[in-house]
């Protein structure tokens, strides 16, 4: 059939993807991208799986690029009071471009991963579409991928559910068949995001003030990098009603706390926007827009403004849009594009 380079972490999803590609008649090579020292264990696990199912395996050291494009930005965004999404950046700038480059060097026509997503065609262009297993669907994280990558990308798990995947892995004797799903940011283990950022910052976190929506002082906080919009837990402020982080001002270092009903917004501005067909439409279009991976999409009108910026106007108010997170546009199961949330009102 074809030569395929498969991104492998050693986990059950990418391991089963390798087996499915082989069943389809493809000649498969596994590749582990080491983004961080933590991933050296993944490379060993992936090599074990590759030996078990009988495919070659290569390791590609991407720590330098990952540091520049993902880790440094992750820290600086939190220091600015924003909430970054490192998986979106890694997929767009590191993982998939690196797989393409490695595939070219090895003479592979296609690349593949164990993501829960699918490839379809829309208006003559390849487009990401949602996976069958909606509870596992990862299309939200893939909106930065361009047509040059999508035209060479295979998603073997697109039509499968997690129990089906585990059953295949168990049948093949894959070591990770019963491993728990990974839930956390891949480069952070056993500590909070706030502690990770504090450990990499050039100076200690600067304390600031909690204030209410009228500017009244409520208490001191431990640095804006420890908080995100919509957060309730860990504030340490006594109140007769629950309080949430409503706004973070990096200049004054004031964090405004508000009631839950005050978190909702109807207008969200996004920057660094991408569109599946390349050039962003000059006209407004209707879409279902997700403001976080775990958040149900809301219906909205998306209007391109200029220089990669777009205005998203929701039919109903959306809870706690967080600057730094991604606003991702869908039409049904089709992924149309997305951008980084700049601010909301």
* pLDDT more than 70, % of the chain: 99
101 occurs within a structural domain: yes
Tokens describing residue 107: 């003479």
Residues 29 and 116 in one domain: yes
Residues 244 and 105 in one domain: no
Out of 87, 108, 186, 258, which one is annotated catalytic? 186
Confidence (pLDDT) at 89: 95
Beta bridge partners of 154: 112
Residues 110 and 75 in one domain: yes
3-state secondary structure (DSSP) of residue 288: strand
Residue 47's H or E segment, with its range, is helix 40-53
> 217, 233, 258: which is the final residue of a domain?
258
The total number of structural domains in the chain stands at: 3
Out of 87, 90, 108, 193, which one is annotated catalytic? 90
CA distance 51 to 341: 43
Over residues 308-317, mean pLDDT: 97
Q: What is the mean pLDDT of the chain?
A: 94
2 vs 307: which has the higher pLDDT: 2
Confidence (pLDDT) at 29: 98
* pLDDT more than 90, % of the chain: 82
Residues 312 and 334 in one domain: yes
Range of the domain at 283: 264-344
What is the per-residue pLDDT across 34-88, written as a single tens digit (0 to 9) for each?
Answer: 999 888 888 999 999 999 899 999 999 999 999 999 999 999 999 999 999 999 9
247 occurs within a structural domain: yes
Residues 6+ apart with CB under 8 A from 210: 217, 218, 219, 220, 221, 235, 237, 254, 255, 256, 257
Q: How confident is the model at residue 188 (pLDDT cuts 50, 70, 90)?
A: confident
- Report the CATH number that the domain containing residue 284 is assigned in CATH: 2.40.30.10
Residues 35 and 163 in one domain: yes
Residues 17 and 78 in one domain: yes
192 occurs within a structural domain: no
What is the per-residue DSSP string for 102-167?
HHHHHT-SEEE---SEEEEEETTEEEEEE-S-TTT--GGGGTT--HHHHTTEE-TTTT--HHHHHH
> 172, 195, 216: which is the final residue of a domain?
172
CA distance 180 to 87: 19
236 occurs within a structural domain: yes
| Residue 108 annotated in active site | no
252 occurs within a structural domain: yes
Confidence (pLDDT) at 154: 98
Confidence (pLDDT) at 183: 62
Confidence (pLDDT) at 194: 85
Residues 131 and 269 in one domain: no
Q: How confident is the model at residue 192 (pLDDT cuts 50, 70, 90)?
A: confident
217 occurs within a structural domain: yes
What is the per-residue pLDDT across 207-259, written as a single tens digit (0 to 9) for each?
Answer: 999 999 999 999 999 999 999 999 999 999 989 999 999 999 999 999 999 99
56, HSE (Cβ side, Cα atoms, 13 Å): 10
Residues 19 and 163 in one domain: yes
CA distance 109 to 4: 6
Residues 18 and 142 in one domain: yes
Residues 10 and 130 in one domain: yes
| Residue 90 annotated in active site | yes
181 occurs within a structural domain: no
What is the per-residue pLDDT across 92-144, written as a single tens digit (0 to 9) for each?
Answer: 999 999 999 999 999 999 999 999 999 999 999 999 999 999 999 999 999 99
187 occurs within a structural domain: no
Residues 224 and 277 in one domain: no
Confidence (pLDDT) at 311: 98
- Report the CATH number that the domain containing residue 137 is assigned in CATH: 3.40.50.620
């Amino acid at each position: 059939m074809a030569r395929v380079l498969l991104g492998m972490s050693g986990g059950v999803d990418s391991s089963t993807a390798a087996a499915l590609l082989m069943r389809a008649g493809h000649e498969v090579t596994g590749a582990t991208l080491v983004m961080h020292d933590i991933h050296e264990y993944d490379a060993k696990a992936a090599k074990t799986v590759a030996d078990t199912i009988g495919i070659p395996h290569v390791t590609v050291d991407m720590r330098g690029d990952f540091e520049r494009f993902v880790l440094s930005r992750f820290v600086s965004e939190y220091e600015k009071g924003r909430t970054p999404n490192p998986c979106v950046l890694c997929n767009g700038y590191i993982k998939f471009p690196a797989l393409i480059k490695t595939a070219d060097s090895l003479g592979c026509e296609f690349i593949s991963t164990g993501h829960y997503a699918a490839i379809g065609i829309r208006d003559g262009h390849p487009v990401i579409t949602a996976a069958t297993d909606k509870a596992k669907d990862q299309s939200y994280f893939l909106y930065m991928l361009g047509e040059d990558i999508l035209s060479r990308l295979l998603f073997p798990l697109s039509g499968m559910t997690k129990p089906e995947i585990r059953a295949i892995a168990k049948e093949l004797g894959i070591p990770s068949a019963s491993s728990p799903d990974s839930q956390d940011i891949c480069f952070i283990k056993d500590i909070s995001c706030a502690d990770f950022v504090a450990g990499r910052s050039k100076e200690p976190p600067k304390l600031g003030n909690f204030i209410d929506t009228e500017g009244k002082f409520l208490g001191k906080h431990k640095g804006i990098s420890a908080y995100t919009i919509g957060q309730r837990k860990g504030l340490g402020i006594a109140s007769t009603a629950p309080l949430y982080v409503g706004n973070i001002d990096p200049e004054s270092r004031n964090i405004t706390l508000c009631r839950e009903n005050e978190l909702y917004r109807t207008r969200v501005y996004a920057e660094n926007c991408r569109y599946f067909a390349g050039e962003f439409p000059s006209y407004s279009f209707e879409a279902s827009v997700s403001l976080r991976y775990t958040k149900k999409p809301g219906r909205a009108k998306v209007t391109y403004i200029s220089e990669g910026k777009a205005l998203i106007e929701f039919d109903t108010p959306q809870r706690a849009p967080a600057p730094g997170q991604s606003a991702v546009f869908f039409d049904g199961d089709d992924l149309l594009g997305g951008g980084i949330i700049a601010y909301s009102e």
